[in-house]
Structure 1
Amino acid sequence: MLNNIAKLLDITINRANQVTRWIARLGGIILLASVFMIVAEILFRKVASLSIIPATEISGYFMAIIASWSFAYAMLEKAHIRIDIFYLKSCNKVRNFLDILAIFSLVFISIFATDAVFSVTLDTYESDAHSNSPLMAPLWIPQFLWMFGFMWFSFSVSLLLLRALVALLQQDQKKFSHMLSSPSVEDHVNEVARN
């Protein structure tokens, strides 16, 4: 039974990883669009002495959206900062405990943050709030996209936790380490050598 659950979780995680990579690419495109928009705004102000694009407001929305969308990708690539001096010198049991503690903490924080962002977005939608600018943008639109990033992060990190727990129950240390462990110096050297 655990093998079937593990296979199902592996398939789901692979699909989620593919979606996460596409979301990261879309975030990169949005970031580039934001840069071009800001450059165009600066040029129009310099040349024509007028502002035609509310670049500051829109780029602020873009940055919040991109930040929330990048959380799952950073987790997938193990790009979150970890202080691992003690961790790397520990035995597998201590490492496993620290990895489980870290992923449980991340799940808790992501769900807590998602709930808070959902409440803000719902309040904004119900009150029909608009930005206090000439654009008068309905704030629920950027906040919904911002919330989507938090929801996707919570979903992704919860999948990772479930798969790691199944690997522990199966006593599959290699899979568990692959899912959660902090990369070692050798892992970083091998990654650089591959590229």
Structure 2
Amino acid sequence: MLRLTGTLGQRQVAALALFMSRVAGWLYVACAVMIVFDVVARNIFNFSTQATVELSGYALGCGIAWGLAGAFVARMHVRVDMLLEKLPRFPRAWLHLMALTLLMGFLIMITYGAFALAYDSWELDAHDMSALRIPLWLPQAIFGLGIFVFLVAILLALSDVIGHLSRGDIDAVNLQMRQKSAAEEAAEAIEASHSVQNPSTKDPAC
């Protein structure tokens, strides 16, 4: 897991990010259930909820946004780092800094755009076209919240990296930002299977 555990605030953000990723997973389950129900209802009972398309779209969009921070904290994002791992440790650390800085700038724009869109929808009292007439600002704000938490996680990681670089601790940067090894992924899979078999077992603090 990414080492966002230095302070109480970092631990809280990491815990929130992982909680949101679990919520995102359940949103996908709910999305699948809604689609299956609607297909069965249409073909057997000639009945439709007339809202499945909109609700599944909201679930997919919000699920993606809410899963980003958790995937970052757990180091689960797909990264093409074949060239990066072959570089010497010094340029590798500074490339990690550059990547986090660029990602921070991009997320600031996305966060601003998401909340600006939600505010415009609230001000215009905009609703979707489904039978439920859901206010558009609600899913838009939920989406924006997921992006915002991802941004906070990036800022915390960026502050850690800058702190390590200011102290000349290059290896700490590379250790914190490196991709998971195959051995680590296998160990996590084994641990997860044990947790399913023994629900009372709690995850160790990272």
TM-score normalised by length of structure 1:
0.87
SS in 1 for 2:128: coil
Q: Which amino acid aligns with 2:183?
A: V
2:94 to 79, 94, 97: 97
Compute the displacement of 1:178 (Å). 3.0
Compute the displacement of 1:181 (Å). 2.7
- Which residue of 2 is the match for residue 33 of structure 1? 30
Q: Does 1:77 find its partner at 2:71?
A: no
Q: Which amino acid aligns with 2:27?
A: I
Q: Which amino acid aligns with 1:159?
A: L
- Which residue of 2 is the match for residue 189 of structure 1? 183
In structure 2, stretches of 5+ residues that fail to align are: 191-206
CA distance in 1 between partners of 2:34 and 2:130 (Å): 17
SS in 2 for 1:95: helix
CA distance in 1 between partners of 2:62 and 2:132 (Å): 18
- Which residue of 2 is the match for residue 164 of structure 1? 161
Q: Deviations over 1:31-68 (max 9, x none)?
A: 11121121111111111112135111101011110111
In structure 1, stretches of 5+ residues that fail to align are: 1-6
CA distance in 1 between partners of 2:125 and 2:162 (Å): 43
- Which residue of 2 is the match for residue 4 of structure 1? none
Q: Does 1:141 find its partner at 2:138?
A: yes
CA distance in 1 between partners of 2:57 and 2:184 (Å): 38
Evaluate the alpha carbon distance shift between residue 10 and residue 95 of structure 1 in structure 2; reply closer, same or farther with a 3 A threshold. Answer: farther
1:3-22 equivalences under 5 Å are 9-22=6-19
Pairwise CA RMSD: 1.9
Structure whose residues are more often helix by fraction:
1
Calculate percent identity across the aligned residue pairs.
25
TM-score normalised by length of structure 2:
0.83
Evaluate the alpha carbon distance shift between residue 188 and residue 11 of structure 1 in structure 2; reply closer, same or farther with a 3 A threshold. Answer: farther
SS in 2 for 1:167: helix
Asked whether the 8 Å contact 1:13–1:160 carries over to 2, the reply is no
SS in 2 for 1:85: coil
